[in-house]
Amino acid sequence: MQVDVRKRNYRSLAGTIVSLCLFTLSGVAPSVAGEKVMHAFAGGEDGLTPFGALAVGAHGKNMYGGTEGGGTGTGCYGDTGCGTIYEITPTGLESVLYSFQGGADGISPAGKPLIDSSGNLFGVTAGGGGNGCIGYGCGTIYKLAPDGTETVLYAFQGQADGSFPMSGLVADANGDLFGTTTEGGNYGSNCGSYGCGTVFELQPDGKLITLYAFQDESDGTTPPGGVIIDSAGNLYGTAQGGGTNCDCGVVFEITAGGTYAVLYAFQGGSDGYSPRAGLIADTAGNLYGTTISGGDTKSCTGGCGTVFKVTPGGHETVLYGFHAGSDGANPVAGVIRDAKGNIYGTTWLGGGRGKGCKNLFGDGCGTVFKLTPKGEETVLVHFYNKHGQFPQASLLLGKNGELYGTTTEGGKFKQGVVFKVKK
């Protein structure tokens, strides 16, 4: 039996939005001022549905990313392909470096690629890699050499090691790789037969260590956003569920010594609800991220999502709560910061009456936004139709201040785009 990883891993996202978000109509005309579509995916060999974020290469010019489907592989999704790793130049020339075949090599690359100084790409696939997880494969950690040779560094077995990784990796000075899986881990936990997810470390010799297995209690559950690492080797991340008082998600820390702690448990009100993306940190150790719901509960039932800050001491501040109007709603992706402390990100939905974008969730196909240190929000792009729709990945900040990103749908062929925004 084959399982469509798109349906499996994004079912909770769709369910959350359907139950929580009833938008108000904004009446604001859409705008794409300053936005340029660099590449529109055609859904064939070049790929389709780029869920992951872009990474800049070792030489600081070309960018790299992954598509969930498309390519030349035939081992999954019927005729839609098993996903690709692609390269795109500053002028928008796209080329496929690798097409996943849907077997041991993996299916559907997820998250932002990690690139070393030699140009090797490291990442995860949400499925494939073996016969586990209903005969479909539980996901992989891969390496892609500059010559296009793919090597599976680890294939998840769906047991204590975890299953279905959905985010990019980080590395320490020793070359150890760190990430999360959304399922697997402790099968005696409250998550039953699926497991609540893990935080893992992959050593250069191929040995995988489960650093923490979530229990679906106050510690959290289902960490889709990956982790970041500081200079001392401490890891920080989010879990979209669990926590105290409600199943609203947490911000967590795992020290270099292996101690797990919840820094903040969301309460599901104005403070936010369900962080699905990873974190970034400033030089003072403050953590920044988004929640897909919570915040302004007057404009959206359950809230329209937030941008938040958590101090090293565990104090949370909502920097901005979305209203589901022209400002956008429901940020799935994380945020980035520039040298002046401005924050940039995307919202999956909202942004106004985008042409062809009225759907079950309301009006608008998503936005690119800027948030000043004072909490003032500016929408840089309102997405619609050929300009792209429904961004779900964080942005990349270019050398000259341009923003680069992806949308999962829209474009000339309706299969997603890579875009550029001049601020």
What tens digit of pLDDT does each residue of 221-270 get?
999 999 999 999 999 999 999 998 889 999 999 999 999 999 999 999 99
Query: Which of 301, 278, 281, 393 is CA-nearest to residue 347?
Result: 393
Q: How many other C-beta atoms lie within 10 A of the C-beta of residue 147? A: 7
Confidence grade of residue 24 (pLDDT, cut at 50, 70, 90):
very low
Can you tell me the distance from the alpha carbon of 40 to that of 53, in angstroms, rounded to the nearest whole number?
A: 15
Query: Which of 162, 293, 310, 165 is CA-nearest to residue 224?
Result: 165
Cβ atoms of 20 and 14 within 8 Å: the answer is no
The per-residue pLDDT for 335 is 98
Confidence grade of residue 78 (pLDDT, cut at 50, 70, 90):
low
The per-residue pLDDT for 77 is 61
The per-residue pLDDT for 33 is 57
Can you tell me the distance from the alpha carbon of 306 to that of 126, in angstroms, rounded to the nearest whole number?
A: 27
Q: How many other C-beta atoms lie within 10 A of the C-beta of residue 22? A: 14
The per-residue pLDDT for 34 is 80
pLDDT in tens, 294-333: 998 888 878 999 999 999 999 999 999 999 888 999 999 9
Cβ atoms of 50 and 65 within 8 Å: the answer is yes
Query: Which of 321, 325, 276 is CA-nearest to residue 302?
Result: 321
Q: Bigger pLDDT: 3 or 164?
A: 164
The per-residue pLDDT for 359 is 53
Report the predicted TM-score, pTM, of the whole model to 2 decimal places: 0.92
pLDDT in tens, 350-405: 987 555 566 544 578 999 999 999 999 999 999 988 999 999 999 999 988 999 99
The per-residue pLDDT for 417 is 98
Ramachandran assignment for 352, one of left (phi > 0), alpha (psi -120 to 50 degrees), beta (any other): left
The per-residue pLDDT for 217 is 81
> For domain 5-421, which CATH number applies: 2.120.10.30, 3.90.550.10, 3.50.50.60, 3.40.50.2300?
2.120.10.30
First and final C-alpha spacing in the chain: 48
CA dihedral for 253, 254, 256, 259, sign (positive or negative) = positive
Q: For the ranges 217-231, 340-354, 401-415, which has the lowest average pLDDT?
A: 340-354
Confidence grade of residue 12 (pLDDT, cut at 50, 70, 90):
very low
Domain boundaries, the chain: 5-421
Ramachandran assignment for 324, one of left (phi > 0), alpha (psi -120 to 50 degrees), beta (any other): left
Can you tell me the distance from the alpha carbon of 345 to that of 332, in angstroms, rounded to the nearest whole number?
A: 10
Can you tell me the distance from the alpha carbon of 153 to that of 83, in angstroms, rounded to the nearest whole number?
A: 18
Confidence grade of residue 27 (pLDDT, cut at 50, 70, 90):
very low
Can you tell me the distance from the alpha carbon of 300 to that of 22, in angstroms, rounded to the nearest whole number?
A: 5
Mean predicted confidence (pLDDT) in 44-59: 93
Whether the pLDDT of residue 189 is over 80: the answer is no
The per-residue pLDDT for 353 is 56
Percent of the chain exceeding pLDDT 70 equals 89
Q: Bigger pLDDT: 422 or 228?
A: 228
Phi, psi at residue 275, to the nearest 5°?
-75, 120
Confidence grade of residue 7 (pLDDT, cut at 50, 70, 90):
very low
pLDDT in tens, 103-150: 999 999 999 999 999 999 999 999 999 988 977 899 999 999 999 999
Confidence grade of residue 28 (pLDDT, cut at 50, 70, 90):
very low
